[in-house]
A and B are shown apart, each in its own frame.
Chain A
Amino acid sequence: MERIDIHPTHSHENFKLRLGRPQPFGATIVPGGVNFSIFSSHATSCSLVLFKKHAKAPLAEIPFPDEFRIGNVYCMVVFDLDYENLEYGYRMDGPNNFQQGHWFDPSKILLDPYAKIIGGRDVWGVVPDWEDIYHHRGRIAFDDFDWGNDRALEIPPEDQIIYEMHVRSFTRHESSGIKENHRGTFAGIRDKIPYLKELGINAVELMPVYEFDEFENSRPNPQTGETLYNYWGYSTVGFFSPKAGYAATGKFGMQVDELKTLVKELHKNGIEVILDVVFNHTAEGNERGPTISFRGIDNKTYYMMTPEGYYFNFSGCGNTINCNNPIVRNIVLDCLRYWAAEYHIDGFRFDLASILGRDPWGYPLANPPLLESLAFDPILAKCKLIAEAWDAGGLYQVGSFPAYGRWAEWNGKFRDGIRKFIKGDGTVGQIAQCLQGSPNLYAWAGRAPATSINFITAHDGFTLMDLVSYNHKHNEANGENNNDGSNDNDSWNCGWEGATDDVGINALRRRQIKNAIAILMVSQGVPMLLMGDEVGRTQNGNNNTYCHDNELSWLDWNLQTKNAEILEFVKHCVAFRRSHPVLRNPNHFRNQDYVGSGYADITWHGTKAWNVDWSDGNRAIAFLLCGKHAKQGTVEDNYIYVAMNMHWQTQWFEIPGLPPSLQWHVFANTGAVFASNYLPGTEPVLENQSGILVGDRSVVILVGK
Chain B
Amino acid sequence: MTFTASLEIVDDVAKITLAGELDAATAPALKEEVEKAVKQKVKRLVLFASGLEYMASAGLRVLLFSKQKLGADVDIYVVGAQEFILETLEKTGFDQTVILVDKYDE
Question: Could you tell me which A residues sit within 8 Å of B by CB distance?
Answer: 82-85, 142, 144-146, 181-182, 186-187, 190, 247-249, 252-254, 257-258, 260-261, 264-265
Contact of B91 among A142, A144, A253, A261 (CB under 8 A): A261
Question: Could you tell me which B residues sit within 8 Å of A by CB distance?
Answer: 23-25, 56-58, 60-61, 64, 87-88, 90-94, 96-97
CB distance from B17 to the nearest CB of A (A): 23
Given contacts A84-B23, A181-B87, contact A144 B93 (CB under 8 A): no
The CA of A181 and the CA of B25, in the complex, are separated in Å by 28
CB nearest to A147 among chain B residues: B93
The CA of A253 and the CA of B64, in the complex, are separated in Å by 18
By secondary structure, the B interface counts as helix
CB nearest to A265 among chain B residues: B93
Instruction: Indicate if the CB atoms of B93 and A257 lie closer than 8 Å.
Output: yes
Given contacts A84-B57, A142-B57, A260-B93, contact A252 B88 (CB under 8 A): yes
The CA of A456 and the CA of B17, in the complex, are separated in Å by 58
Instruction: List 12 interface pairs A-B (beta carbons < 8 Å), by A numbering.
Output: A82-B25, A84-B23, A84-B56, A84-B58, A142-B61, A146-B64, A187-B90, A249-B88, A249-B92, A252-B88, A254-B88, A258-B92
Instruction: Indicate if the CB atoms of A146 and B93 lie closer than 8 Å.
Output: yes
CB distance from A115 to the nearest CB of B (A): 16
Given contacts A83-B24, A84-B23, A84-B57, contact A146 B97 (CB under 8 A): yes
The CA of A248 and the CA of B64, in the complex, are separated in Å by 21
CB nearest to A179 among chain B residues: B87
Q: Which of A146, A190, A265 has the most CB of B within 10 A?
A: A146
Given contacts A84-B56, A142-B57, A146-B97, contact A261 B92 (CB under 8 A): yes
CB distance from B76 to the nearest CB of A (A): 13
The CA of A84 and the CA of B27, in the complex, are separated in Å by 11
Instruction: Indicate if the CB atoms of A82 and B57 lie closer than 8 Å.
Output: no
Instruction: Indicate if the CB atoms of B57 and A253 lie closer than 8 Å.
Output: yes
Specify which chain B residues have a CB less than 8 angstroms from the CB of A181 in the assembled complex: 87
CB nearest to A142 among chain B residues: B57
Contact of B56 among A252, A258, A265 (CB under 8 A): A252
Specify which chain B residues have a CB less than 8 angstroms from the CB of A85 in the assembled complex: 23-24
CB distance from B39 to the nearest CB of A (A): 23
Closest 3 CB pairs of A and B: A261-B93, A84-B24, A257-B92
Specify which chain B residues have a CB less than 8 angstroms from the CB of A249 in the assembled complex: 87-88, 91-92
Specify which chain A residues have a CB less than 8 angstroms from the CB of B96 in the assembled complex: 146
The CA of A260 and the CA of B87, in the complex, are separated in Å by 16
Contact of B93 among A83, A182, A253, A264 (CB under 8 A): A264
The CA of A596 and the CA of B9, in the complex, are separated in Å by 75
CB distance from A348 to the nearest CB of B (A): 23
Specify which chain B residues have a CB less than 8 angstroms from the CB of A146 in the assembled complex: 64, 93, 96-97
The CA of A3 and the CA of B7, in the complex, are separated in Å by 33
Specify which chain B residues have a CB less than 8 angstroms from the CB of A258 in the assembled complex: 91-93
Besides the known contacts A187-B91, A248-B91, A257-B57, 8 further A-B residue pairs in the complex with CB atoms under 8 A apart:
A83-B24, A144-B64, A146-B93, A181-B87, A249-B88, A253-B57, A254-B88, A260-B93
CB nearest to B95 among chain A residues: A261
The CA of A258 and the CA of B88, in the complex, are separated in Å by 9
The CA of A252 and the CA of B24, in the complex, are separated in Å by 13
CB distance from A209 to the nearest CB of B (A): 16
The CA of A593 and the CA of B78, in the complex, are separated in Å by 65
CB nearest to A181 among chain B residues: B87
Specify which chain A residues have a CB less than 8 angstroms from the CB of B24 in the assembled complex: 82-85
Specify which chain A residues have a CB less than 8 angstroms from the CB of B92 in the assembled complex: 249, 254, 257-258, 261
Instruction: Indicate if the CB atoms of A254 and B57 lie closer than 8 Å.
Output: yes
Specify which chain B residues have a CB less than 8 angstroms from the CB of A187 in the assembled complex: 90-91
Specify which chain A residues have a CB less than 8 angstroms from the CB of B88 in the assembled complex: 249, 252, 254
Q: Which of B57, B64, B88, B96 has the most CB of A within 10 A?
A: B57
CB distance from B84 to the nearest CB of A (A): 9
CB distance from A167 to the nearest CB of B (A): 14
The CA of A144 and the CA of B63, in the complex, are separated in Å by 12
Specify which chain A residues have a CB less than 8 angstroms from the CB of B94 in the assembled complex: 257
Contact of B61 among A83, A144, A252, A265 (CB under 8 A): A144
CB distance from A537 to the nearest CB of B (A): 27
CB distance from B1 to the nearest CB of A (A): 15
Specify which chain B residues have a CB less than 8 angstroms from the CB of A264 in the assembled complex: 93
CB distance from B13 to the nearest CB of A (A): 24
The CA of A186 and the CA of B60, in the complex, are separated in Å by 19
The CA of A82 and the CA of B25, in the complex, are separated in Å by 7
CB distance from A546 to the nearest CB of B (A): 28
CB nearest to A148 among chain B residues: B96
The CA of A249 and the CA of B24, in the complex, are separated in Å by 17
Instruction: Indicate if the CB atoms of A254 and B61 lie closer than 8 Å.
Output: no
The CA of A82 and the CA of B23, in the complex, are separated in Å by 9
CB nearest to A187 among chain B residues: B91
The CA of A116 and the CA of B12, in the complex, are separated in Å by 41
The CA of A260 and the CA of B91, in the complex, are separated in Å by 10
CB distance from B3 to the nearest CB of A (A): 13
Specify which chain B residues have a CB less than 8 angstroms from the CB of A265 in the assembled complex: 93
CB distance from B96 to the nearest CB of A (A): 8
CB distance from B61 to the nearest CB of A (A): 6
CB nearest to B58 among chain A residues: A84
The CA of A182 and the CA of B88, in the complex, are separated in Å by 11
CB distance from A139 to the nearest CB of B (A): 10
The CA of A181 and the CA of B88, in the complex, are separated in Å by 11
Specify which chain B residues have a CB less than 8 angstroms from the CB of A253 in the assembled complex: 56-57
The CA of A187 and the CA of B24, in the complex, are separated in Å by 24
The CA of A264 and the CA of B57, in the complex, are separated in Å by 19
CB distance from A22 to the nearest CB of B (A): 26
CB distance from B30 to the nearest CB of A (A): 14
The CA of A85 and the CA of B25, in the complex, are separated in Å by 10
The CA of A264 and the CA of B93, in the complex, are separated in Å by 9
Specify which chain B residues have a CB less than 8 angstroms from the CB of A190 in the assembled complex: 91
Specify which chain A residues have a CB less than 8 angstroms from the CB of B93 in the assembled complex: 145-146, 257-258, 260-261, 264-265
The CA of A448 and the CA of B54, in the complex, are separated in Å by 53
The CA of A254 and the CA of B57, in the complex, are separated in Å by 7
Specify which chain A residues have a CB less than 8 angstroms from the CB of B64 in the assembled complex: 144, 146
The CA of A249 and the CA of B58, in the complex, are separated in Å by 14
CB distance from A558 to the nearest CB of B (A): 26
The CA of A142 and the CA of B23, in the complex, are separated in Å by 13
CB nearest to B24 among chain A residues: A84
